[in-house]
Chain A
Amino acid sequence: MATYQLIVNGERREVNVDPSTPLLWVLREDLKMTGTKYGCGISACGACTVHLGGIATRSCIVPISHVGDRPIVTIEGIGQDAVGRAVQAAWVETDVVQCGYCQSGQIMSAVALLKHTPRPTEQNIEESMGGNLCRCGTYPRIREAIKTAATQLTKGGA
């Protein structure tokens, strides 16, 4: 066991865990933030996507000992950000979700996409969202919601 200082959604948190513990399980079980989901444990599905140092990252394969001082943003905190808010709003407006289990990860990937590419093409969307699995298959509405959020954000000048 070792102690780690983390910055999660802008707040300082301290955890005492085994250094090999993936960030995903620290968030879910130690910090009780269960919005970030376990789907595969091998970075194949993207359900565990968080922003680590501003980069969309699969938290299931990042040992807590590798996090360092990079700030962590999760689905619980993404609404503090204008892009995050716009994406969440577009998701609700478009009625994207079905079972909803993958959608935290989908939203985190979509926010990362729009932060770097405010006007994404279909190809940008397929590339950035390409590792996020949705077994319900909500992909057509995910595309639509990303475009809606992009329009909102570029219109609003965010």
Chain B
Amino acid sequence: MAARQELNRRGFLQVSFAAASGLFVSLYLDPKSASLAQEAPMPPTQSKVYPPDAFVNIRPDGKIVIQVNRLEFGQGVQTALPMLLADEMDADWTNVIANLAPAADVYKDPLFGMQMVGGSGSIAHSFQQYRELGAKTRAMLVAVAADHWNTTPDKCRTEASVVYGPNGKSAAYAELAGEAARKPVPAKVKLKSPAELRLVGKRVKRLDSNAKCNGSLKFGLDLDLPGMKVAVVAHPPVFGGRVKSVVDDEARGIEGVTNVFDIPLAKGTGVAVVADRFWAAKQARSRLKIDWDLDDVEKADSAELWTRYRQLGRTPGNVAVSNGEANAIDKIPANNRIVAEYEFPYLAHTPMEPLNTTVRFDGDRAEVWAGSQFQTFDQLAVAEVLGLKPEQVIFHTEMAGGGFGRRAVTDSHVQREAAAIAKRLRGTPVKLIWTREDDVQGGYYRPMHFHRVEVGVGSNGLPVAWRHVIVGQSLLAGTPFESFAIKNGVDATATEGTADTHYNIPNFHVTAHHPKVNVPVLWWRSVGHTHNAFVMETMTDELATRARMDPIAYRRKLLKPEAKKLLSTLDLLEKASAGWRNSLPRGHALGVSCHECFDTGVACAVDVSIENKRPKVHRATIAVNCGLAVNPLTVESQFQAGLSFGLTQLMAKGAITLKNGIVEQRNWDGYVPPYIVDAPVAVDVHIVPSGEAPTGCGEPPVPVISPAVVNALARLTGKRYRTLPLVNV
């Protein structure tokens, strides 16, 4: 801690990332290196020592409170991490309470070196950590009991929060906890064998269901503190605009409005309105008359951007990967060559709970409440705005209503706004609310992308040459992740899913352009895989159709033999969908896709018809290989529901567009994500049995669904769909 206090923010970031860099890069961005680690049956033991008391509190009433070092925002980590710990600890599951941990060094991701949710890494990275914490806690409790009974720990056994000793002796964990806390933490512990596990691998229901079904669960937006004020901010109509002048008499005249003042934004400036209640603040904001200075800001325009992107895409970019001969495609006769261009618009995340953060600044300390995927960054950002050291900022992790990447922002712009407002209202807690309009229009979108693909087909129907250009803004340029993710001018998050394809293509050449555009961009659940999987899986399907081959058989033939995860999912998919795949009613068609990301392999088959000129997904069958499924019920749920998130990009109004710098959509009327009628009616999920280390399931559901659906549409209409959103079927 002492060393950390002396570091400024920039220095601290460098130190944290340097410590984690090797693992960070290999696990997050380079699936090839990561797959080597998977040959070991379990991930290597982390060298860092985690004090059990920071994670487990056994209360006198027998309740066991487990700290979760991640944000819970639907993905189920608040249940799965406690399962890992409780299983090794032999805790009574019915008495386990999970708590979202505040920001602190001890809760940093063991591999990423910062406290965060991202890269589908929560279970993959904390699997060993939570198991060891449970086993160590158990060992300390058993040691105390053994001392009392004048016996040795190996003569004791544990079950449901009770230690049993020789001669019928027993003691509840709650009775032993006080003494156990004074025992030394064992350096090494033996973990359970698979056969000994009681919770891990079982379908365990979520711990947070009741509270989410009776309205009692408090999300960040539900926070209520004595004397709390509510703030909204008027943002410039064009990113980076600045307030020239503001007439606020009418706004101030609204009852309950207490303050109106300019604040700095991540880009440009805005006007904060503070009131006793949200409605007053929102009404007042709409009555501000602001003269904006927009002269020197670039006014992005979707139509102009497409023109620019198409031109760029027809020229080679920086090389992401080049196997074989770069220009082999030019030697392929024209009738064996396919040239295809794809367009993907900006997409907003629009999590159900609007963005919000509450801050109270007390001069020499501050307190923050936020549903954050990046606690470490957000805590530092608030500290910086308030002129405090990070340890002077108490940062509470609030339950969040979805996120999908939107709460993992390297510039912490929402927290900075909240801190700037709280700074002016010293001693008063202020809850900053981004309205849905602020969210839809506020940037931080999945970037627009253009792909141009030229494929040369061999006599066996398989591709022999593949030249691919990807155009899109870099997600990571200018962020602390830049040096790890951008190599040779290529941002790996833009090419992932193509550059690292598991298909065996002898002459494979991928390049990328990253134009700079005045629109803030951000990772959107599954990041680059959203567009790359679409291109790879629709083109592969086109090739399979051209070769008159079964879509599953074709993919199996094209995959590299070492793509074991994907091959296993195709095998399982073939079996699991056998009952319906080849006996569809008239007007229905099969669509297939497979994709590996975040080290998880997924294969998908859908039964699609066209209803009201839209795709109707009657059924989806999913096969997944995620190593050991810690909680198969959560894995199933993530896939059943995550498919709908992936379908966002097929919605007729699933696009953010700009005209002369201004975002054209305002709310969920102009930007329309999938509702129940747009979602798959039924999804059956099949998990490849595996004892390998667990890999993530938060993002892998997203990439497979839109190509699978479009592949089915192609069978129904004979058309290829390469421009999203899917306006016309």
Seen from chain A, the residues whose Cβ lies within 8 Å of a Cβ on chain B are: 1, 17-18, 20-22, 25, 28-30, 32-42, 44-45, 47, 74-76, 79, 88, 91-92, 95-104, 107, 122, 125-126, 129-143
Beta-carbon contacts under 8 Å, B641-682 to A? 641-645, 647, 667-669, 673-677, 679-682
Residue of A nearest to B278 (CB): A25
Q: Which residue of B lies closest to A1 (CB)?
A: B255
Query: B353 an interface residue at 8 Å Cβ cutoff?
Result: yes
Asked if A143 meets B681 with Cβ closer than 8 Å, knowing A36-B215, A76-B214, the reply is yes
Query: Do residues B214 and A132 form an inter-chain contact, with CB atoms below 8 A?
Result: no
* In the A-B complex, the 4 residue pairs with the closest CB atoms: A35-B215, A137-B644, A101-B401, A100-B212
B212: which of A25, A33, A103 is its contact (CB, 8 Å)? A103
Contact A133 B668, beta carbon cutoff 8 Å: yes
User: CA of A18 to CA of B645 in the docked complex: distance in angstroms?
Assistant: 38
Interface size (B, Cβ < 8 Å)? 66
The interface residues of chain B lying within 8 Å CB-to-CB of A44 are 667-669
Contacts of A20 in B (CB 8 A): 279, 283
A39 to chain B, nearest CB (A): 6
Select which of A88, A98, A130 is within 8 A of B675 by beta carbon. Answer: A130
B208 is an interface residue with CB less than 8 A from chain A: yes
Chain A positions within 8 Å of B482 at CB level: none
Instruction: Report yes or no: B637 in contact with A95, Cβ–Cβ below 8 A.
Output: yes
B216, B222, B435 interface centre (most CB from chain A within 10 Å):
B222
Complex Cα–Cα for A88 and B216 (A): 13
Q: A97-B213, A100-B212 are in contact. Are A37 and B676 (CB under 8 A)?
A: no
Shortest beta-carbon distance, A104 to chain B, in Å?
5
Are the CB atoms of B209 and A95 closer together than 8 Å? yes
- Which residues 205-224 of B have a CB within 8 angstroms of A? 205-206, 208-219, 221-222, 224
Whether A99 and B351, one on each chain, are in contact in the complex, defined by CB atoms closer than 8 angstroms, is yes
Give the residue name and chain of the B residue nearest to A92 (CB).
B209
| Max chain B Cβ within 10 angstroms of own Cβ: one of A1, A45, A137 | A137
- A22 and B282 alpha carbons, distance in the complex (Å): 12
Complex alpha-carbon distance, A65 and B273, angstroms: 25
Interface set, chain B 272-298, CB cutoff 8 A to A:
277-280, 283
Residue from A1, A35, A91, A99 having most chain B Cβ neighbours under 10 A: A99
Distance (Å) between the CB of A27 and the closest chain B CB? 10
* Chain A minimum-CB-distance residue to B642: A137
Please judge, given known A-B contacts A33-B215, A42-B668, whether A135 and B645 are in contact too, CB under 8 Å. Answer: yes
CB distance A18 to B280 under 8 Å?
yes
Q: State how many angstroms separate the Cβ of B494 from the closest Cβ of chain A.
A: 24
Which residue in chain B gives the minimum CB-CB distance to A39? B352
- Complexed CA–CA distance, A42 and B211 (Å): 26
**Residue contact B224 to A34, C-beta cutoff 8 Å:** yes
Q: Which of A47, A88, A92, A125 contacts B676 (CB 8 A)?
A: A125
Bound-state CA distance A20–B206 (Å) is 39
Q: In the complex, are the beta carbons of A39 and B212 less than 8 A apart?
A: no
B398 to chain A, nearest CB (A): 12
10 A-B pairs within 8 Å (CB atoms) are namely: A25-B279, A39-B353, A95-B209, A95-B633, A99-B73, A101-B219, A102-B352, A136-B74, A137-B643, A143-B676
Q: Which residues of A contact B645 (CB under 8 A)?
A: 135-137
Q: Are A131 and B675 in contact (CB under 8 A)?
A: yes
Q: Nearest chain A CB to B210's CB is how many angstroms away? A: 6
Residues of B within 8 A of A34 (CB): 215, 218, 221-222, 224
Name the distance in Å between B303's Cβ and chain A's nearest Cβ. 26
A129 near B353 (CB under 8 angstroms)?
A: no
Main secondary structure of the interface of B (DSSP, over half): loop
Known A-B contacts A21-B279, A42-B667, A140-B680; the reply to A135 vs B214 at CB < 8 A is no
Question: What is the distance, in angstroms, from A37's C-beta to the closest C-beta of chain B?
Answer: 7
Q: Cβ of A45: which chain B residues have Cβ within 8 Å of it?
A: 352, 668
Closest chain A CB from B402 CB (angstroms)? 4
Q: How far is the CA of A36 from the CA of B436 in the complex (A)?
A: 16
- The answer to whether B215 and A126 have CB atoms under 8 Å apart is no
The answer, yes or no, to whether B523 is at the interface (CB within 8 Å) is no
Contact check: which of A30, A75, A133 meets B215 at CB < 8 Å?
A: A75
Residue of B nearest to A32 (CB): B224
Q: Identify the interface centre among A35, A91, A126: most chain B CB within 10 Å of its CB.
A: A35
Query: Does the CB pair A29–B633 fall under 8 Å?
Result: no
Of chain B, the residue at the smallest CB distance from A97 is: B212
| Contacting pair A100 B279 (CB below 8 A) | no
Q: CA A137 – CA B617 in complex, angstroms?
A: 14
A42 touches B681 (CB 8 A): no
B121 interface hit (Cβ, 8 Å): no
| List of A residues within 8 angstroms of B641 by Cβ | 98, 134, 136-141
Check A37–B353 contact: CB distance below 8 A: yes
Q: Are B279 and A40 in contact (CB under 8 A)?
A: no
With A and B bound together, what is the CA distance between A76 and B283 in angstroms? 28
Interface assignment of B354: CB less than 8 Å from any CB of chain A: yes
Contact of B677 among A32, A130, A137 (CB under 8 A): A130
Residue pair A40, B436 in contact (C-beta under 8 Å): yes
Chain B 400-423: CB-based contact to A (< 8 A → 1; otherwise 0)? 111110000000000000000000
Minimal Cβ-Cβ distance residue in A for B210: A92
Do A133 and B642 have beta carbons less than 8 Å apart? Answer: no
| Complex-state Cα separation, A34 to B433, whole angstroms | 15
Residues of B contacting A139 in the complex (Cβ-Cβ under 8 angstroms): 641, 644, 675-676, 679-680
Closest to B282 in A: A41
Q: Is B640 in the interface zone, CB < 8 Å from A?
A: yes
Chain A residue numbers with a CB within 8 Å of B216 are 35, 76
A22 to chain B: closest residue by CB: B279
Contact of A130 among B354, B404, B667, B676 (CB under 8 A): B676
Question: Which of B224, B283, B401 has the most chain A CB atoms inside 10 A of its CB?
Answer: B401
Q: Mark B346-374, 1 if CB is under 8 A from A, else 0.
A: 00001111100000000000000000000
Of B353, B399, B633, B667, most A-chain CB atoms within 10 Å: B353
Contacts of B376 in A (CB 8 A): none
Residue of B whose beta carbon sits closest to that of A93: B205
A61 to chain B, nearest CB (A): 12
Whether B683 is near chain A, meaning CB under 8 Å from some CB there, is yes
A32-B224, A97-B213 as given contacts; A141 in contact with B640, CB under 8 Å: yes
Q: Which residue of A lies closest to B401 (CB)?
A: A101
Q: A18-B255, A133-B673 are in contact. List 6 more A-B contacts (CB 8 A).
A: A41-B436, A47-B352, A79-B214, A129-B676, A135-B352, A139-B679
The answer to whether A104 touches B673 (Cβ under 8 A) is no
Bound form: Cα–Cα A34–B398 in Å: 15
Which chain A residue lies CB-closest to B525?
A135
Q: Is B75 an interface residue (CB 8 A)?
A: yes
Interface contact A140-B683, CB-CB below 8 Å: yes
B240 within 8 A of A: no
A42 to B679, CA, bound (A): 22
Known: A42-B667, A139-B679. A101 touches B633 (CB 8 A): no
Q: Which residues of B have CB within 8 Å of A28?
A: 222, 278
